Structure 1
Amino acid sequence: MSGSRTSYTTRFSYAASDVAGQLVFCVVSFYLSWFYTDVFGISPAAAGTILLVARWVDAIDAPLWGILFDRTRSRWGKSRPWFLWLSLPFATFGVLTFLTPDIGYTAKVWYAAITYIGCSVLYTGINTPVTSILSALTSDPRERVTLTAFRMFGSKLGVLIVNLTALRLVALLGEGDDRRGFMLVMPIYAAGSVLLFLLAFRNLREVVRVEHKPQPILAGFGALRGNWPWMIIFASSLFFWIGFIARVSTVPYFFEYALQRKDLVWLANSLDFVSLATAFLLPWLCRWTSKRNAWAIGLAGMVFGQLVVGWGVSQGFSLSVIMTGWTIGFLASGMAMAMPFSLLADSVDYGEWKNGIRAAGLLTAIGAAFCLKAGAGLGGALPLWIMQGFGYVPNTAQTAGALDGIAIGFVWLPAACFFAALIPVLFYGRFEKWEPEIHAELDRRRANTGTKPE
């Protein structure tokens, strides 16, 4: 039965799909800003513009990917085959993004923009099926939360692997030349990414197959009409990713120039792994309280963590206080990050119930991939623009003004975004209460039309 407990093979293979994506894209999310300004030699303003333009290209390609996924027909299903088809192109562009050809400045900017846009578009293509396949792995909302917890484990494991090894391998293999180091390290991560995506392709099965008559290409957007749960997820996720990427992408700058502790960059970003503590508690938390409350607690915890970091900055850059707040924020992020991925599958059901249109690919492409990429574009660009405005100059001692700009991007911009993400979540509870009724009605419709899940 599609609603029964999933196997551990399914759970760990689902986790592997997110390890695969993070092996490449974690390097992008955490280190690309610093790579552009301090390694490749692009100005902060130009680098910020590249990050923003590339990510906002997903305003166009995310819906197109979603439409394509919803119209996919193969013996492997709708979402699963894309792990096979896109893993190698994605990994290839991940490598190209971190090459540093010896060319003129303008050519550098164009090369960075083209390779990053390619990597970004392909990440949307291969990451969206990781989300959209969830509604096909099981129809049980609680089991979806469990699978999401395993996915978060995979995501955080990938992030941990990268943050524990990336800069060290760059230094080791590059022998002091960061350009050479990135050129040698990225193919290692890319190969691991391809292998893990192929593992997910081999082991995952789409057991919930609800076939409808083919819809016109734009008909899938009808699933958005009046879909308030999806709109809440979209608004909150967009603000969350702006704040989260601003938070992690400014780590190299803050620890090197404000704290004078570049040696702790790997530790600061590796602490992301503590978020698993709350991510794995999600199935229990959602039995103890509502999914809305668990989501809101996570976002509120991230706001509190940023305030503690801000207090540490005001106390003469107290390392102990800053690291305490930093850890609190990561711990809370397990809930704040995981819940939208689980709830998107429920919003797909809501769209089918309300409008008679099931558009898992489109809703997850826009609600997850677009929010991640557009939010990350702003989250990467805004701190760089702020730093440029406050007088940041790469690879030199910073002025007091430049340090203020770094602190704004590291502390206060993320805090404001996490608070903004919390507001729409407070209105989600009423829709969560309707879920039993919605699933019962969908089961009746499918039984009557002969589209009952296998």
Structure 2
Amino acid sequence: MKDLYNHDPLTLKLSLREKYSYGMGDFGSNLMLCIGTLYLLKFYTDELGMPAFYGGIIFLVAKFFTAFTDMFTGVLLDSRRNIGKEGKFRPFILYASVPVALVATAQFITNDFNLTVKTALATVLFMMFGLFYSLMNCSYGAMVPAITKNPHERAQLAAWRQGGATIGLLLCTVAFMPIQALFSGSSSLGYFVSALIFATCGLFCMWRCYSGVKERYVEIPPESHKPSILQSFYAIFRNPPLLVLCIANLCTLAAFNIKLAIQVYYTQYVLNDIHLLSWMGFFSMGCILIGVFLVPKAVKLFGKKQVYLGGLTLWAVGDVLNFLWGSSSLSFVLFSCMAFFGTAFVNSLNWALVPDTVDYGEWKTGIRTEGAVYTGYTFSRKISAALAGFLPGIMLTQIGYIPNAIQNSATLLGLRQLIFIWPCVLAIIAALTMGLFYKLNEERFALIIEEIDKRKKNNMSEHGLDENKTSVITI
């Protein structure tokens, strides 16, 4: 380790290789996560024979549990002081990815137990997946401030991350069910083989991320700083930009996950073409990729907040058009492409804005806690995911969904409302929240970084150190 860093961190440029490696992290994690987000509820209802209500309860309980495991991960990260050459965050990416892949696969194993045991086993497996996924993914996300302080490079990393996530989601959408369908004689075996393939690929991608990124600004908190789960809650409520971002993200992630969970039912029962899911995924996720690549340029021209609001507007308009005129396969795909194009800007900037709130928290409190801020933020995401998993299960029961049967008109209308109206309303709430209450713009952020650097230089001068050196540890 060295404690010397002589160039301006705000102008540091990352290599294309490192950005690619970072993007591979969310590509790999989404290969393992999205198979559950997209198909686990359908596996529960159609293969394990569970009522949709039970599937919703499993999602609710497990996601609430993993919301608190995120907090635990934040405490663990901010407590680390004996940091080796691997860095503060990278070891968790390497080692936690193995149990994530194993449990992601195990969730798609069928059994002949009674309903109570099936439900208990599914809940425990989902909770285990959430625990290990928290250790892996929270470390991955919290690592950004340690990689670069350049806000434009952070936007680039967020774009690469969202690009990786989108390609992972695209592959899950396009390829999972066709692989599963190859085992027409045993659909349950098809689910298991598909899950095994995606989890294995995800594992190798996480290892590629570990080997390709570098932590440059690893800061060790003072001995007086004692991290706790309460610190993560404090990190939210003492940090206004983070609080606003959490509320907006609560809405957008719930909307996005509800849409993903219901689309497999919508294509099968409303449009009567389950194979359309692959084509829809190909085109809509392609639109997301285009949007992701446009994010850095759009942010440079208009600023993060304006681009974020523009994405929400496209999202809401696309859903409204789909509800009114999306009754055919072609119109459904076209309007979905518009909505998903808007989500590209929203989901990318969710990650680009979090590191800015880390710096805001350091400016306000004098203590840098990437783990507490990031896991405080992901707590809201897990609560959102819990609701997004719970509500479709409950609503499928309420609208009278019957697995593998022709649905009545009321059920079909309920599916249309679930996939379009609910996400649209949540997107509008998020837009109002960000538009009215998020005040951390680019100009203010630059002033905050400048003041933080001045504080560090003054502190080093008081201790007789070279003012040209920073207080970070360079690995």
How would you bin the TM-score normalised by the shorter chain? over 0.9
1:225 offset after TM fit, Å?
Answer: 4.7
1:452 aligns with 2:471: yes
CA distance in 1, matches of 2:237, 2:341: 35
- Change in 2 beyond 3 A, CA 1:18/1:44: same
Map of 2:258 onto structure 1: 246
Q: Residue 408 of structure 1: which of 408, 413, 417 is its match?
A: 417
| Higher mean C-alpha displacement, 370-379 vs 146-155 | 370-379
1:380 offset after TM fit, Å?
Answer: 2.0
Q: Residue 113 of structure 1: which of 100, 123, 140 is its match?
A: 123
Q: Residue 28 of structure 2: which of 20, 28, 39 is its match?
A: 20
1:373 offset after TM fit, Å?
Answer: 2.4
CA distance in 2, matches of 1:220, 1:445: 23
1:320 offset after TM fit, Å?
Answer: 2.6
Residue 269 of structure 2 aligns with an amino acid whose one-letter code is Y
Preserved CA contact (<8 Å) 1:251 1:269: no
> 1:72-123, CA deviations, whole angstroms, 9 ceiling, x for partnerless residues?
2421222111111201011111011111122222211111111111112222
Map of 2:301 onto structure 1: 288
Residue 11 of structure 1 aligns with an amino acid whose one-letter code is K
Preserved CA contact (<8 Å) 1:248 1:269: no
1:429 offset after TM fit, Å?
Answer: 5.3
1:260 aligns with 2:269: no
| Higher mean C-alpha displacement, 126-135 vs 375-384 | 375-384
Q: Residue 36 of structure 1: which of 44, 68, 74 is its match?
A: 44
CA distance in 2, matches of 1:429, 1:48: 33
Structure 2 residue matching 1:430: 3-state secondary structure: coil
Preserved CA contact (<8 Å) 2:235 2:376: no
1:434 aligns with 2:444: yes
Structure 1 residue matching 2:401: 3-state secondary structure: coil
Residue 381 of structure 1 aligns with an amino acid whose one-letter code is F
CA distance in 1, matches of 2:393, 2:415: 8
Q: Residue 161 of structure 1: which of 152, 171, 177 is its match?
A: 171
1:287 offset after TM fit, Å?
Answer: 1.5
Map of 2:159 onto structure 1: 149
Q: Residue 55 of structure 1: which of 46, 58, 63 is its match?
A: 63
| Higher mean C-alpha displacement, 213-222 vs 293-302 | 213-222
Q: Residue 235 of structure 1: which of 234, 237, 247 is its match?
A: 247
Map of 2:314 onto structure 1: 301
CA distance in 1, matches of 2:174, 2:63: 26
CA distance in 2, matches of 1:294, 1:194: 33
Preserved CA contact (<8 Å) 2:173 2:278: yes
Q: Count the aligned residue pairs.
A: 449
| Higher mean C-alpha displacement, 160-169 vs 233-242 | 160-169
Q: Residue 325 of structure 2: which of 312, 319, 333 is its match?
A: 312
CA distance in 2, matches of 1:170, 1:123: 24
Structure 2 residue matching 1:426: 3-state secondary structure: helix
Q: Residue 187 of structure 2: which of 178, 185, 195 is its match?
A: 178
Q: Residue 94 of structure 2: which of 84, 90, 93 is its match?
A: 84
CA distance in 1, matches of 2:237, 2:324: 44
CA distance in 1, matches of 2:432, 2:185: 46
Preserved CA contact (<8 Å) 1:311 1:321: no
> 1:277-313, CA deviations, whole angstroms, 9 ceiling, x for partnerless residues?
1211111111111211001111111111110111125
CA distance in 1, matches of 2:376, 2:236: 10
Map of 1:189 onto structure 2: 198
1:260 offset after TM fit, Å?
Answer: 0.7
CA distance in 2, matches of 1:429, 1:198: 36
Q: Residue 66 of structure 1: which of 52, 63, 74 is its match?
A: 74
Residue 418 of structure 1 aligns with an amino acid whose one-letter code is A
Structure 2 residue matching 1:388: 3-state secondary structure: helix
Residue 28 of structure 2 aligns with an amino acid whose one-letter code is A
Residue 244 of structure 2 aligns with an amino acid whose one-letter code is I
1:207 offset after TM fit, Å?
Answer: 0.4
> 1:240-262, CA deviations, whole angstroms, 9 ceiling, x for partnerless residues?
11100101110111111111111
CA distance in 2, matches of 1:33, 1:198: 29
- Change in 2 beyond 3 A, CA 1:176/1:375: farther
Map of 1:209 onto structure 2: 218
| Higher mean C-alpha displacement, 218-227 vs 57-66 | 218-227
- Change in 2 beyond 3 A, CA 1:376/1:176: farther
Preserved CA contact (<8 Å) 1:70 1:78: no
Map of 1:378 onto structure 2: 387
Preserved CA contact (<8 Å) 1:48 1:385: yes
Residue 293 of structure 1 aligns with an amino acid whose one-letter code is Q
Structure 2 residue matching 1:427: 3-state secondary structure: helix
1:276 aligns with 2:293: no
- Change in 2 beyond 3 A, CA 1:194/1:96: same
1:447 offset after TM fit, Å?
Answer: 2.0
- Change in 2 beyond 3 A, CA 1:103/1:117: same
Residue 275 of structure 1 aligns with an amino acid whose one-letter code is I
1:332 aligns with 2:313: no
CA distance in 1, matches of 2:153, 2:401: 48
- Percent sequence identity is 24
1:396 aligns with 2:405: yes
Preserved CA contact (<8 Å) 2:236 2:376: no
Structure 2 residue matching 1:250: 3-state secondary structure: helix
Preserved CA contact (<8 Å) 2:363 2:448: yes
Structure 2 residue matching 1:216: 3-state secondary structure: coil
